[in-house]
Amino acid sequence: MGKFPIADKAVLKMRICLKCKARNPPGATSCRKCNYGYLRPKKARKKETK
């Protein structure tokens, strides 16, 4: 939904902290903000209508 496909791709590779929802680099094993150990990959969605 972004204007920039490259940025979209980068965002989708991000890993989201389950605790504070901070975005972390793809290779991260723990949150860079709160050091929480559980990160989930951001789900790729083609259409996000609301």
Q: Kindly list the residues in this chain that would bind Zn ion in the complex (CB under 5 A).
A: 17, 19-20, 22, 31, 33-34, 36
**Considering the complex, what minimum distance in angstroms separates the CB of residue 27 from Zn ion?**
16
- Minimum Å gap between C-beta 19 and Zn ion is 5
**Rg value, the chain, Cα:** 12
Ramachandran angles phi, psi of 14, nearest 5°? -60, 155
Cβ proximity to Zn ion, 10 vs 22, nearer residue: 22
Q: Measured from the CB of residue 31, what is the shortest distance to Zn ion in angstroms? A: 3
Query: Alpha-carbon distance 10 to 19, whole Å?
Result: 21
Residue showing tokens 């790729």: 44
